[in-house]
Structure 1
């Protein structure tokens, strides 16, 4: 067993760079889903990809600023011919896939799998490739080997793709600066974005290492397949920007009140400046400063949520040191969001019918304890901050027009009613991103 004082050594040369590295800023990206129709072609694709999958040895080196990550679904491992005893060693959520677990994730109504964009959520999704780069030239360069291999192999087919890019405002579609929070991971060489957060054990994010429970989580067999791998959640989330703006306008009497209400729901001003550090007015300089815009906690300075409401989006997604149900460090996640679709022009409050939103990615060692727990308990319930059980995240929760949101204040708190769904799930899947040795093991299967 290691302790906080014992240095942690990660096998960085075996870990895919995309498993640990924060996305560049600005960025362009692409997500590509593949179906394996011939297991030999699938293995050959992996063989060709391996030399071009960057490892995590030098995350700050310029050569690591553009990369491709490869991951496989349970159905993809099956299609490759992975033996059944190995398939059975994966955790149940991964085996079942996201669509089968939609109800407990809050993917109901418009967000239910029957309404998802095909082929998302179907057994046809086998391999997921994600690519990120600071510019279009870098993206084209890192994707070229994969595109060439896919074109040449008749037994592997591209079935879906999505292009992403930083919006000109450097925000997500609702207008808030994105990509601010990233955890520190022991042994990774990548600093966290909050200097007040103690680095987390690598076993929270990578298989084969000690986690915050001082345990090594169960991993798929054989060890060569599981070690240095991680689970990846991919979700395409449509953002109803016009509806969000309409709601702010309907519940405010001035433009300044609209801005404040949006900040209370998010927990940050649109510039990225946190309410925890500037509760009464925006501070764009603070919001743009990565050394300061995430440097805060909640428990001592704002226990009642007078600055940052307990039910706000950022406090639900990362409660930090708040008094909550569940130990925060057991549920910490690496989260990455990349934008797709055009920006709705400022001031427009009518929906133009365009598809826009986030390609949401979660990376961690446990689908159930991290992503699914946060979705069920922190996003779509209120008990986690000792609030009413049916109160959901005002931004990302599965609201249906009857939701509410409370803003603590003196002398009387304010409670908003009639929250609709501002985010609709268009589809997604659970993937496993193997280490590089595991990729070779999969490529050399002879079943």
Structure 2
């Protein structure tokens, strides 16, 4: 175990992509591979162990440029990991994301039958993600990684998604993204909310105690420890539909911006309603030290300022009084924009594919990602709002009105359309660096 203090995070064995926030601005690429030859697949794992940067080197020679590698359950099987070992992984991971479609509300246009090929199929084995501050450094990182797989005909690249920061540094709906991240004990990386106590490392990294005192470690120990589960989802954003909803339901341009803030819980600049309830405050939205340090319970328990059903309050209720323990459902979230922006003011769809590559990292697929997706994004019982859905990510069918708390009367708006559809995704395992070498050294 290389002489580490028991219980201390072994940062030199954890992939940097698990704990480090992406750079701002950024460029990113996702590459998906199928393993057709077991020995070639194992050789890829051996080579990747030398390319992947560890969390112990956040300011190394490559700066804010790094490569991460994740493997699906089908991928582990293709590498020859024994079935007895696969059975010790989370059962959601074993099933795969497509099989979990009903729980995740991937229905209608988001049904796996409509996903972009080959996403959702058993051909998804290895996912390589490269992140850099700009396109030039990203391309250099991809070129450095290219020998890992180009020389091995038994490993085939089958899908690619390029991502980039928009000039506005927002996502396609116009909101500043990537604001809220939890602090992880022992990581050395501060969380974005100074009021939040750091979470136990076992909530995000396998092999360490979590908030309940349990330790989740797939077997054998060398494979499971210092790994994490990662969810990646390609989410198509219907920008014109979103803009038209705001325009049709607002009284004037100022009211349109207020409505956008009430839907998200933040103004487009990133300034939270909790700290700037009446008007946008771009200086606050640009200040990482202030824009995420707030709660709800003391000043706004009823949601008159930040609606209980808005996106950020659903995704992280913070200190609000809700059913259950919020800390058990915290996630590390990352988002990377893909596709061209829809020009400002355009209310008609131009047919371009644009959206967000969403990534979740954690140690508990069920009570973190799947719970939030099913119980918080697509239900409202946890805060006393029956079966209402998240206004941004919810699986709307055009029948449920949007209701915004307001004195003396609630504001009732027209039924919500589905603004975001799933184009594909998968559950993966991010092995530690020793685990990558172990996978490379497997024998039949």
The TM tier, using the shorter chain, reads: over 0.9
Q: Is the alpha carbon distance of 1:363 and 1:52 closer, same or farther for their aligned partners in structure 2, counting shifts above 3 Å? A: same
Per-residue deviation, residues 57-107 of structure 1 (Å, max 9, x unmatched)? 132456341101000000000111111111111121101000000011000
User: What residue in structure 2 maps to residue 375 of structure 1?
Assistant: 373
Match of 1:264 in 2: 262
Deviations 1:132-154 (A, max 9, x none): 11012221222223222322100
Deviation at 1:222, TM superposition (A): 0.5
Q: Which residue of 2 aligns with 1:344?
A: 342
Q: Distance in 2 between matches of 1:269 and 1:135?
A: 27
| Cα deviations by residue, 1:229-255 (Å, 9 ceiling, x for unpaired) | 000000000000000010011111201
Alignment of 1:302 with 2:296, yes or no, is no
1:388-446: CA deviations, max 9, x gaps?
2x210000011111123221111011122310000000000000000001111100000
Alignment-derived partner of residue 397 in structure 2: 400
> What's the counterpart of residue 329 of structure 2?
331
Task: Say if 1:59 and 1:190, in contact at 8 Å, map to a contact too.
Answer: no
1:24-423 to 2 correspondence within 5 Å?
24-61=23-60, 63-217=62-216, 219-388=217-386, 390-423=387-420
Q: State the secondary structure of the residue aligned to 2:207.
A: coil
Aligned residues: 440
Is 1:441 the counterpart of 2:438? The answer is yes
Q: Please, which moves more after superposition, 21-30 or 50-59?
A: 50-59
Question: Structure 2 vs 1, CA of residues 62 and 299 (structure 1 numbering), >3 Å: closer, same or farther?
Answer: farther
**What SS does the aligned partner of 1:246 have?**
helix
Contact 2:13 2:434 (8 Å CA) reproduced: yes
Consecutive aligned runs of 4 or more in structure 1 exceeding 6 Å deviation: none
Gaps of at least 5 residues in structure 1 are 1-5
Give, in whole Å, the separation in 2 of the partners of 1:430 and 1:52. Answer: 22
Give per-residue Cα distances to partners, 1:175-211, cap 9 Å, x unaligned: 0000111110010000011111110000000001111
Q: What do the CA deviations read for 1:329-355 (whole angstroms, capped 9, x no partner)? A: 000000000000001111111111100
Whole-Å separation in 2 of the counterparts to 1:354 and 1:221:
44
| Deviation by residue 1:121-179 (Cα, 9 ceiling, x = unmatched) | 00000000111110122212222232223221000000000000000010000000001
Q: Distance in 2 between matches of 1:259 and 1:349?
A: 16
Q: Distance in 2 between matches of 1:214 and 1:91?
A: 18
Is the CA contact (8 Å cut-off) linking 2:229 and 2:361 kept in structure 1?
Answer: yes
CA contact (8 A) 1:394 1:404 kept: no
Q: Which moved more, 1:117-126 or 1:56-65?
A: 56-65
Name the residue aligned to 2:421: 424
Q: Describe the shift of the 1:64–1:324 C-alpha distance in structure 2 as closer, same or farther (beyond 3 A).
A: farther
Q: Secondary structure at the match of 1:139?
A: helix
Q: Is the 8 A contact 1:42 1:80 kept in 2?
A: yes
Judge conservation of contact 2:402–2:415 (CA < 8 Å) in 1. no
RMSD over equivalenced CA pairs, Å = 1.2
Q: TM-score if structure 2 supplies the norm length?
A: 0.97
SS across alignment from 1:410:
coil
**Structure 1, residues 2-53: CA drift from partner, whole Å, max 9, x if none?**
xxxx996210000000011011100000001000000100011111111110
Task: Work out the CA distance in 1 between the residues paired with 2:415 and 2:87.
Answer: 44
Cα distance in 2 for partners of 1:403, 1:20 equals 38
Distance 1:239 1:23 in 2: 21
CA distance in structure 2 between the aligned counterparts of 1:214 and 1:417, rounded to whole angstroms:
46
C-alpha spacing 1:317/1:68, structure 2 compared with 1 (3 Å)? same
Structure 1 Cα separation of the partners of residues 181 and 129 of structure 2: 19
Q: After superposing the two structures, state which structure 1 stretch, 51-60 or 92-101, moved more.
A: 51-60
Q: Distance in 1 between matches of 2:51 and 2:136?
A: 16
Distance 1:164 1:98 in 2: 22
Rounded to whole Å, the distance in 2 between the matches of 1:339 and 1:403 is 28
Change in CA separation of 1:151 and 1:296 when aligned onto 2, cut-off 3 Å: same
Gaps of 5+ in 2: none
